[in-house]
Structure 1
Amino acid sequence: MVGTLYGLGIGPGDPDLITLKALKILQAAPVIAYPAPEDKDSLARAIIAPHLPGGQKEIVIETPMVPGRFPANDVYDKYSEEIAAELNVGHDVAVLCEGDPFFFGSFMYIYARLSERFETVVVPGVSSAMASACQIGMPITSRYDVLTVLPAPIPAEDILRRLQACDAAIIMKVGRHFAKVRDVLGTLDLIDKAHYIEHATMDNQVMMPLSEATFEKAPYFSMIIVHKRGEAWK
């Protein structure tokens, strides 16, 4: 008998935002696996640490966070086989994923390698995008609004073009691209209709109207939410 592979969405950072289903699986699984930057602590593990029962085997998926090297296929090849070895001896494995597993989630790279070989259950989680909107108090869409999700590292001209074609946007992974994104929003006269947030739902959360964000760089876990009407209900 082989084990079941679980991809658990564990939410954006607040430990209480894990779903009941994910919590039950997390506490029952004999093996958990989670991503971690090389030589740094895992944010995913830190999020669920209050819920761990103890005594579980832990697999740390050390991943290089270097532009141009993600996803690191050799890394996911290696750890997928380590996870497969546990599944083959009958151990269920719960792989932790910040936010939602299939919304920019790292679990998708494990899923791609193992889901055809093993029974796999994916448990959705609260995404950072939805959590950020709630923290800001900014509904994102209403009625027939078109929402666009943009990764900030894409070229400025692509961001501008896509913003022109939508009603509202979530711009993720802002980080060192903050100034570029702000300039594009300025070109479109949208700065006063945008909000900035970093580390949503965590103890070190910061949020403000984009017009008050005068710095040049932001943390990796940051995003900008903009609605062209300013408020979705208008």
Structure 2
Amino acid sequence: MTGTMYLIGTGPGDPELLTLRAARLLATMPAIAYPTTEQAGAMAFDIARAYLNPSAQLLPICLPMRRDRAPGKAAYDQGASVIQTQLDAERDVAYLCEGDPLFYGSAMYLLERINAPVVVVPGITSLTAAAAAIVRPLAARNETLKILPAPLRDERLKAELNSAPAAAIIKLGRHFDRIRALLEQTGHARNAVVIEYASGQNQRITKLADFAHDARPYFSIILCSAGEEAWAKT
């Protein structure tokens, strides 16, 4: 017998966007694990803080934000071991994840490392929160929407954009300037919008053409369209 691990999406930033199911589970969960980084802190924990069982044991898992994957693998191995110890003691554990656990979420790396039942509680993604922030559809009718990570190489990104009426560029950070140049080449820059920290207290919305500030936050997304719908022609 073991406990159950719950992968809980905390949503994009606004604590009120946490789902009712997530809030109900967190209120009684005996152990709470969550990712933390030196650069970004513990965003998922901060979002869910008000909903947590006050007597829950807290299990922070420090994840390095590096291009080299070896330190990350070691951190997930160590974090999984801490969680597994709780599960083997027949204690349920919730692992918090920004947005949705299985949408580019760190929770996915625990799945292969944990030997216990797993329940996934979906969360609202930054993608839908960003669209809500600018009150603009992601795509419509027969349009296709592509979600493109900014670290992809220029050639791959350009090819994907050239066949995409609508696109969302995620994981911007230090890739921002080259992404802007690529969007200008493919015709997606005309109505592109940068949404930083969607739904959070420090949310900021800027047209790509007007984006001049130096900050390049990792938690930002560009929504753009080169399709035939009205919002693609503004």
Provide TM-score, normalisation by structure 2.
0.93
Deviation for aligned residue 1:70: 7.0
Deviation for aligned residue 1:40: 6.4
Q: Contact between 1:141 and 1:232, CA under 8 Å: does it hold in 2?
A: no
The equivalent residue for 1:209 is 207
Structure 2: 5+ residue stretches without partners: none
Letter of the 2:132 counterpart: C
Q: Contact between 1:176 and 1:218, CA under 8 Å: does it hold in 2?
A: yes
Deviation for aligned residue 1:216: 5.7
Q: Contact between 1:5 and 1:118, CA under 8 Å: does it hold in 2?
A: yes
Deviation for aligned residue 1:37: 0.6
Letter of the 2:152 counterpart: I
Cα deviation digits, residues 12-42 of structure 1 (max 9, x gap):
0000111111111111110000000148631
Partners of 2:232 and 2:167 in 1: how far apart?
A: 15
Q: Indicate the RMSD between aligned Cα atoms, in angstroms.
A: 1.8
Letter of the 1:225 counterpart: L
Q: How many residues align?
A: 232
Provide TM-score, normalisation by structure 1.
0.93
The equivalent residue for 1:130 is 128
Partners of 1:190 and 1:82 in 2: how far apart?
A: 45
Partners of 1:52 and 1:102 in 2: how far apart?
A: 21
Partners of 1:204 and 1:40 in 2: how far apart?
A: 14
Letter of the 2:55 counterpart: G
Cα deviation digits, residues 44-73 of structure 1 (max 9, x gap):
111111222311101111010112237711
Q: Are residues 1:162 and 2:141 paired?
A: no
The equivalent residue for 2:42 is 42
The equivalent residue for 1:74 is 74
Q: Contact between 1:7 and 1:95, CA under 8 Å: does it hold in 2?
A: yes
Distance 1:53-1:179 versus aligned 2 partners, 3 A rule = same
Letter of the 1:126 counterpart: I
The equivalent residue for 2:195 is 197
What is the aligned-residue identity percentage? 38
Cα deviation digits, residues 119-161 of structure 1 (max 9, x gap):
1100110000111011011101111111111011111222111
Structure 1 segments, 4+ long, off by >2 Å, are 38-41, 68-71, 214-217, 229-234
The equivalent residue for 2:14 is 14
